[in-house]
Structure 1
Amino acid sequence: MNSSNPRRLVDEILRRNARNPALAWRLFKHLLSSPSAPPPSPSSIFSLSGALAHARLLPELDHLHHLLLNLPHSAAPHCLTALSLASSTAGILDRALSQLQSLRSHFPSHAPPIRLYNSLLGSSLKANRPDLVEALYKDMLLAGVSPDTYTFNLLMSSLCNSGRLDEARLLFDRMTLKGCQPNEFSFGILIRGYCKAGFSLRAVELLDGMERVGCLPNLVIYNTLISGFCREGRIGEAESLVDRMRKEGLFPNVVTFNARISALCKMGKVLEAYRIFRDMQDDELGLPRPNQITFNLILDGFCNGGMLDEARALVESMKESGFFARLENYNIWLSGLVKNGRLLEARMLLEDMVRKGLGPNLYSYNIVIDGLCKEGMIFGAESVISLMRNNGISPDTVTYSTLLHGYCTKGKASGASRILHEMVSNGCFPNSFTCNILLQSLWKEGRISEAEILLQKMNEKGYGLDIVSCNIVIDGLCENGKLDKAMEIVDGMWQHGNAALGELGNAFLGLVDDGNDSKKCFPDLITYSTLISGLCNAGRLDEAKKKFVEMTGKNIAPDSVIYDTFIHAFCKHGKMSSAFKVLRDMGKKGCKPSTKTYNLLIWGLGSKQQFNEIQNLINEMQEKGIPSDVITYNNLIRSLCDGGMARKAASLLEEMSKNGIMPNIISFSLLIKAFFKTSDFDAAQAIFHGALTTCGQKEVLYSLMCNEFSMNGKLLEAKELLQIAFERGFSIERFPYKHLVEELCKEQRVDDAQSLLISMINKGYLFDPAAFLPVIDALSKKGNKHEADKLSEQMMDMATYHEKSKFVNSYTQHGEMGPRHIKSKQDSSRGSDWRNLLHRDDGSGVAMKVLKRVQKGWGQGSIPSPRPQNVDPFDVWESTG
């Protein structure tokens, strides 16, 4: 080395080879091995170790660590500091901590700089290691290093992330005592922590204190607060903050608007959110333009609100503006279609994604599979699994568990066993969640012996009985009315954990391990919720209250679900004063009542026609910032209708619209029934047309109107609606076609009745053969033998197919995603009474004579009878090895 500054030469060599860490390392070792080589500078060590760390050359990094320990005492601490700092910056936390430990143990008199501690604290925070954050802070104080504002900010972030807000606030208050002044980041961290935990009002107190220490709130802090208030449903407070922002010269950006839109959508006020969305698109208003998140929020809001037509129009708009190009957009739309029963459309969307090369991911397929399974369309779900395999995506545990749950729900034992076997064969082993799905299915069906076998197999496979398993058993007992046994087991769990299941009988003894206290399953909130709900449903309210006291005595804090369970039970039994005591107790215990809580109370008051008290409750909801929803209004409509005030109830529809709440089918159905009850047919018709405009051409609305017209003697109006149902391809199972045909015949309108039958036949409906009998009787009485015989022949054909209707229904539900309208044209006609009608004693016996003549003439033979079907036994572990 001829240079007058050898250290600068080393630094230059390392700098030039920074892009080739391996070569730089070899050169460094060569230079360091020279007896005349000077110690490297901390900056060269930082550069070299940073390059090695980013290239993940970990053995070389460890070797460097060893070499630095042998440097002269004057250079080693500074180089070790540089090494640890570089490792921490590169995210190699374990190495960085080890290097700090070497620095602290070999050179105790050398205090590491605050920069190193802050870097390590930040890396520990990113790694979600609050334990390391606390240990580093303690070591820092032991080393005599004074924290700075950045240190306190990191510590507060860690405490807030762990939910330890009180400790974070205490640290914040101590900053000035330690000579550190909080900055806007300090305030922002604590404000975000409060808002995330649902304490936005406490966060505002911090905002008010910022100016006192010379900190000005920025847009990020305001957006955090506004988002917090919106999530809590405190729209008024959020609006006040927006006004405050403007006064301070800060203008809302797209994040501010997205927070408001998100909150409105979650509250069910999708139309109000959509109005804001449209305003953002108006150039003249000067508002922030909607971004990708805005579009996604509105799309998700439409889907969750059942507004499929609006969602579909938005999707088309997003495609035109380039906002519908990401997988996230497609997954939201997929989920929306599935939630609203558009499963065929969802399947087609999946295939369209594949064609366009957008590549549905595992989550996309699982969305559709879950929807199909919930609808009982298991074969359709399996066809989607075949599609995902063809596109190179393998099912995961969620996929198999969903399918398994679908088979269990349908009682398909052999199918569930096959899926379990396939799951294991494909290397996707069932977990405790999968086993609990099977256990819940068996237990709820009362198949105790098979549940026992499953429990044994779970133990053999290493799946211990967890609290979920125990809760499933307790829920099964409550569902089957065995409340005393359920309480006995819960009592035993406090002493013996899951071994308390032995109380079910000797067969369950030995299936559980009570030797390890750490593995015992003690009752939790779900356990008591299940038991209290069972007792309340059985009317055993005093015992439920005792369990509530026991639960709180065991330091298990009740949640709103348990309080709502009590409120519902008291309202159901007319004990409104007790229900209101529960509401007040919620407030005292710091458990915030929800919209559901108030809806239950409004329902209870409505059953007693206590309208003034209902209005007081609604006022209380508004004062507390608790939003009303469609159920709130439906309870109001129901109580007014029951009180004979249908027109006053109908006026609530306009109020709902003003408040951004969309009336649903129940809202309109209550009003339609109320107006029919008072024979106000014109008002019922007006509500019906309003329902079609708001909810769409729904089958349930047509069937309701048809039934009401039929029951009120408006036969021609009912017939007209039934004809529309035929044209729209609705299922006629819920339509009163049999009653309507019979009543038309009684009114001497045989031609109208016969035309209905012919329309059903021509449209391909499979319906109850009993519908033919009144027409056959009427035609025969009129002497129209030819038409009566023709209908009788058609009736015999229908009877043959009718016995196969269960098979037809099963095929159309489970087939390979067959068209939805095919399913709608099947009428299972549960409890068909056509055989009984054949033998009715009405004084004529005409239909029976006609049928015998037809059977003899056309050789139809005996009328077929349904055959019982065998069910495969459930042995879920048979093929799993």
Structure 2
Amino acid sequence: MLTITPKYINKTKSFLLPLLIFNSYYSNPSSSAKILINPSLVGTHLPNPSSDSKEIAASFKDWFRTSKNPNFDRIFKILSIRGDEVLAISAKEDSDWGLGKLDIKLSESFVLEVLNYKKDDILSCLKFFDWCGRQPYFNHTLATCVALFKILSRAKLQSLMLDLLDSFKKQRKLHTIRFNDMLVVGYALAGKVYIALQVYGKMRFHGLDLDSASYHILLNSLVEEGCFDEMNVVLDQIRRRGYEDKFTHSIVIKSLCKQCQLDEAEEYLRGLLSRVKVLPHHAIGILVEAFCKSGRFSCGAKLIQEFGEMEGVPVQEAYGIWIKCLALAGKTDTALKFLNDKKSVEGYIPDAIRYNILIFRLLKKNQLKEVSDLLLDMKENRIVPDKVTMNAVLCFFCKAGMMDVALELYELRTEFGFTPHSLMFNYVINTLCSEDNIDEAFQMLKNLMQQGYIPGKRTFSILADALCRQGRLDEMKDLFMFALERKLIPSDSAYEKFIRSLCRAKRVQDGYLLHGEFNRLNKTPSKSTYSYLIYGFNHARRGDLAARLLIEMQEKGHTPSDKLFKYVLRCVCQMDNPERLFLHLLEIQCSRKGYDQRTFNYFIYGAGAASRPDLGRGVYDMMLKSGIVPNVNSEILMLRCYLRSGKIADALNFFEDVKKRKMVGRKIYTTMVIGLCKSRKADSALAMLKQARENGLVPSLFCYETLIKLCCSETKYDEAVQLIKEMEKIGRKVSSFVGNLLMLHSLYDHNLYKAWLRSSDQSNEKLSHAMLGQVIATFSGHVNTDAKAEDLEELVQNCFPLDLYSYNMMLRKLSINNMDEACRLFKRMCRKGYQPNRWSYDTIVHGFYMHGRKAEAQLWADEMLWQGYAPTECTRDI
């Protein structure tokens, strides 16, 4: 049971005022009539929308009750009793006893009315039909049998119809009610037109014949099934017997339309104007609908206008068809204009079906004002609402923000015999979620699913998003498990969001449990879902489950990315005693992809990332035993495997082994130099670089940068200067990275300048090298202590490309002696498009404080904070 929370009160929209006026009009016609007649009184007499939700709900309750027939309701209530509700007697006996007590006077018309009252309650209609047939004073007629067959046909229960027809053949007393006619009609409505024709042929052989109604049902079924040759034969029989009437003409036009002979159908319809006294009203609508389905709306509009202007031509049904076609095509504004014009000029009122179609299309486009007007029209014209109308009303109140009214009407659904459909539930749950009333939405969806309701995937996704957004993963898990138990598969996006949320919350085990349930339904999770789970288990250090999911992912036809594959291997290698699983995974991949270098390289990489060179060397040796020649990538990965693990001696030995087998290229030397630098083995790295140069190789710029950085950090400035000279000698220009390193170390250590002086040879020195020396001298404080911002910027720019780090270093230099020049450089930097960072602002603030200019320092500190940066600890201390 849902409760109406206070947050839904006062949600009534202003466009609902006509409904309030209407409600007052029917409760007190005399007073409300004055409101409608005198516009000047509207402002003072209109009900308050915020306080009349209950009045609106009561008005719609009264309207819904007009669809009820108490006598028929009692019949269907008795028929709906199940056997488990009555212990003493069976359900059939209980129904017989209950219906017998009602003292029903059976007649053909009464049975037809009862069957038409609740056509969607198939089981109850069958029970009633069976009960009537067993009463001694009543025999079913052809009309009652046809009515039941139409109910079953509409519900697409053809197999049940055939079973009934077989059972009818065994009941001799039915042969007294034109039994052959009933068989022909039954098989025709069941879609078994050839069986119907066989029965018809036997009838004609024995001198029997169908009546007019049966002929037309058979003729229409032949058209529906596309049997146009047989249809022409039956049509000829109808004309010979003089049965041709308005129904015949309508079916002929339908036949032409189904054969896409629309122009011939229109010609046939116009020919009827001079041949028959009354034009069949079905015929115009059939042709209009055919024109619309083929996209020829202009032809449909022409027919509607032309026949609508003729006197005595029944066009009411054609109007309804035209409104339906316009609405279904999304032309709701045109449909509304047409309806209003015909209503005002001709007094045309559509039936409930046409209203329903138009209302739902308007709801889809959020044209709530127009929906309100149509509902008011239906109530004013006393149109009896059906279940579709009731669903539309509840959807409308949900979209209008009046959940209190919608829920109140929903709670009374059994009173009206109202069966909500999925769209209504979707609207209710979506509205509850949008109002952040997740508890009620969750409970409502759970209750509905217990009753067999299957929510739309969009509704499920909206609720899933809301629960995940609020971190309510336990409820989300219950909802998913509840849905999966009922074979309801959420959308891939909802499933992925939940898995992702569980993994982020470090509840990957719950995600894996849900994944297992999903797999049991023979559904294939998406590649993203597998990735989330694998990354989750990697973070949880569960390489065994990550590997299992990787294998399953491949079995499901997904190809894992290189990053994901390496991630799993790294996690496996970080486990305790991973050897068995590692080799098992390698065997599986080799059996799947074959023995190729790429697969082996993946595993060497994984071993290296986990600092397990022993596993990596095992894979490398296996590659050699398999007859696969390792490529450069394999050797580089093996070297990294040793170097990352700190196994420098093993790396050097492996390097020497490779040298014995082949000529070593620049990539391998670069790997060795970079790896030795990361292990802070400067001497070994310098020796390796020297060896590469002696072998005629040109090391990469990155190789030089890394080695220069290590030498500077270990104050080996002579070696760093030599590397810079060597780099320039082979044509490598000084990069921003190297230049920034030199400025940084020159600023804090004068030994770099001394090393530069020791290595300088002014006679053979290049201009670029000399200018770089000036930069080192300037930052070391040996020259130009009062440098201008423009001069310093130009000097540095002539040596290497500037970046933000370069400007920060220049700011630091200028702030030592001249804060005004530092501020000028800051402005120049901004004008050139560089975005100052924390270090830029901190340098200025620190400099002003060091120079005692506290007011200016405070202004810059405020600006720094406004930009989202906090001063460094050093600056905060002063």
TM-score (norm 1): 0.42
User: Which protein, 1 or 2, shows the higher relative CO under an 8 Å CA cutoff with sep ≥ 6?
Assistant: 1
Please give the TM-score of this superposition, normalised by the length of structure 2. 0.42
Whichever of the two has the greater Rg, that structure is 2
